[in-house]
Amino acid sequence: MKLPDAMRTRYLRYKRDTDSVANWLGHMAKKCGFPMDEVLKERSDGSSANNTGTREYDLTVRGFSILAGFLSRLDRPPIIVPPELMLHIKRAIDLRTRYTNDLKDRGVEVDDAHHFIVRHLRLASELLAPCVQATTTHDAPGNSKTAPKSENTFNVLDLPDSAVDEISELTDLTIPTTKTKTYHAETKSDLEEAYLVLLDLLPTFMSIEEYLLDTWSKNIGSNGHVDISAVVTNTCLMLLRSIEGDIHHVFKPHGGILAVVNAFLEKSQQQQKATDLKLLRILTGVHRVCETAVKSLKHSGPTEIADSVRELKISDDDEEYNEATPDLIRFIQLSQFAPTLLIRDEITNATIKVLDGEDIALWLVFGLHILIKINQMLLRAGVKPQQQLYICCNKIHGGIISTLNLYGGMEDEAKELPCNKGLKDVDQMIKDAVFKDPLAKRARKKGIKYDQHCFLALNPILSGLMLFYFRGSTYAASIDYSNSWGVISRAAHLYKFGQDLKGLGEVWKGMEDLFLTQTHDALFVGGKAAPKDEDCFRRYILAMGASATVFSSNRRAGANPRAGGSQEHVKRLRPTAKLSLLFRDIIGGGRSGLGLTVEAMELTMQPDQKDVPDDMEASQAEVIVGALSRLHSCLEREYGDLSFDLLELHCQS
């Protein structure tokens, strides 16, 4: 999955800035006759030639100032530097300086190579400054105090996406030649460089932890919708998985991201009480338990795992947290049977892969930490999501059976209509995933003591996702079923006729609720009920799919009055919980690795203007938390529609 640019780490944007500058300098200097071998290195990752035939090279750190000096001395014709290039350089300098200062503040000794990079970037900036293309008076900033802020206005730490979307964009703008080479900035691969990337992630993890725990706390305290909290949490972990995947190459030479975390904690001894370091220490404790549990499971067998790691602790200062250790071990133990589950969350999927031999990722350890915290809150509040799942699914099952039994006396062909099959499929999934426990038999066969739905009790995120999935599936199947029979649409016309025109009968609450969830345009021709008696019959016939020619006085003699009917005009119930259905599909695709779709991200990445941060200082954390918050709000707004019992209304109709 490709993340939106604003969700990427600042370090990646720093790399794109320096790559953009290197590419522009390289192409311009080569065009002007500079002997490029002096400042280039073959790409150290072996990717000197990509699959498009373009050769790729690294520009040395010293090469930035060398090429800038060469270009600045040209006078026939003189070089013209685009202003955007200087802004790329400035942002790279500022970000690199802040990174190194942050490391110093944490007591980490920074080698001279970091200052060397900044020094040559500054020198390149000074050499190129006199050659910057002058802006016209019309374009000069501050010329009009009342001028509206342009979307393309550059800011040191907030370049618009259009300026950095493509690494070679500056070259494309200034050198209209077919490129056969691409130049990148030389990349440092030492441990300090990995620390810089880790520092980028810390504020994001801190903000996400605070947001997720606050969201669960509010929903649990108000007896709210824990299934929505589960969807938001799972979506967040999808994002973190992709973010970590983007920067995996930085940590790989040092043993992986968790090895870098451990080394960083050792280097930062003088800041033991720092909040972010406390989180890192907890995560390393969770990782230690996971790693030991996985090894023990492989070597000792499932029945001995609890005894072999009984003395393990996650935290040295939080006994309540350590009480969660047995549950964490048991979750890992039971995850070996989880491939049989119909629905799986990100944590369960990743744990299965770890048991199959993959490395433990930092985002997974963070997810397990969040899972432990959620379980603690649920325990204190006496809330059990797996029970909510069972109660809700039992109600859905009863509604489906009652609806299908309405037509028990019909021909077998009518019973096997596609709309009936949709409801039957949902009912069968509920029987297989909720009324039965697919893990129970397999666990007991291995000699593991297992209570019914023990795995769901250990993982409330999975319980919430399953509840959300079955709500969404029932909603979609109910709309298809109702539209196939058309009973609700016909009843809506008769009810409005009796209520509005004749003042007959009592208020039909189910139908009134339907009018709140469905627009009148979805139910009535012309978007409203009939204003008078003669229109009521006409609109009713049109809503059933008949053509307006049925009522024409000059219809061709002998024409069939029903021949002009059009199914396009049949009024049907419309799915109004569109975002919920989209995430229902995402959850259902988790088993095959569908993950987060681009369409879903676009729906959650459309903030109001007031939500857009002016300062990108903590942009990744703000953007992710903002997107999750908007997703939560959207799902909350759709919850009433998703929970509306269309099957009951169909039976009443």
pLDDT above 50 (res 145)? no
pLDDT band at 353; cut points 50, 70, 90: very high
pLDDT band at 558; cut points 50, 70, 90: low
Residue % of the chain over a pLDDT of 70: 71
Q: Which residues in 391-504 belong to E strands, given as ranges?
A: none
Q: State pLDDT tens for residues 245-265.
A: 889 989 999 999 999 999 888
542 lies in a domain? yes
- Residue 41 near residue 186, CB atoms below 8 Å: yes
User: Are both 200 and 159 inside the same structural domain?
Assistant: no
**Confidence at residue 504, expressed as pLDDT on a 0 to 100 scale:** 65
How far from 220 is each of 144, 217, 328, 333, 374, CA to CA, in Å? 52, 5, 21, 28, 10
Say how far apart CA 632 and CA 605 lie, in whole Å.
12
**Confidence at residue 162, expressed as pLDDT on a 0 to 100 scale:** 33
Average pLDDT score over residue span 84-108 = 86
User: Are both 96 and 206 inside the same structural domain?
Assistant: no
**Across 241-250, 590-599, 621-630, least confident range:** 590-599
Look at 550 and 424; give whichever has higher pLDDT.
424
Q: What is the mean pLDDT of the chain?
A: 78
pLDDT band at 61; cut points 50, 70, 90: very high
User: Are both 176 and 259 inside the same structural domain?
Assistant: no
Please state the domain count of the chain.
Answer: 3
pLDDT band at 467; cut points 50, 70, 90: very high
Q: State pLDDT tens for residues 494-551.
A: 777 766 666 666 788 888 888 788 766 667 766 666 656 566 666 666 666 666 555 5
User: Are both 198 and 224 inside the same structural domain?
Assistant: yes
Q: Identify the sign of the CA torsion 429, 430, 432, 438.
A: positive
14 lies in a domain? yes
- Residue 491 near residue 515, CB atoms below 8 Å: no
Boundary-marking domain end, from 385, 405, 420: 385
- Residue 543 near residue 524, CB atoms below 8 Å: yes
Backbone angles phi, psi at 8, to 5 degrees: -80, 160
pLDDT above 60 (res 387)? yes
Between helices 226-246 and 191-221, what is the axis angle to 10°? Answer: 170
User: Are both 350 and 286 inside the same structural domain?
Assistant: yes
453 lies in a domain? no
Say how far apart CA 576 and CA 114 lie, in whole Å.
54
**Confidence at residue 304, expressed as pLDDT on a 0 to 100 scale:** 52
pLDDT band at 335; cut points 50, 70, 90: very high
User: Are both 222 and 277 inside the same structural domain?
Assistant: yes
pLDDT above 70 (res 451)? yes
303 lies in a domain? yes
Q: What angle do CA 119, 120, 126 make, to 5 degrees?
A: 95
User: Are both 381 and 289 inside the same structural domain?
Assistant: yes
Average pLDDT score over residue span 348-373 = 95
**Confidence at residue 208, expressed as pLDDT on a 0 to 100 scale:** 94
31 lies in a domain? yes
467 lies in a domain? no
**Across 227-241, 283-297, 353-367, least confident range:** 283-297
Query: Does residue 391 sit in helix, strand or coil?
Result: helix
User: Are both 209 and 94 inside the same structural domain?
Assistant: no
Query: Model's pTM, two decimal places?
Result: 0.82
Burial (Cβ within 10 Å: 0-12, 13-18, ≥19) of residue 176: exposed
Q: Other CB atoms closer than 10 Å to residue 312's CB: what's the count?
A: 17
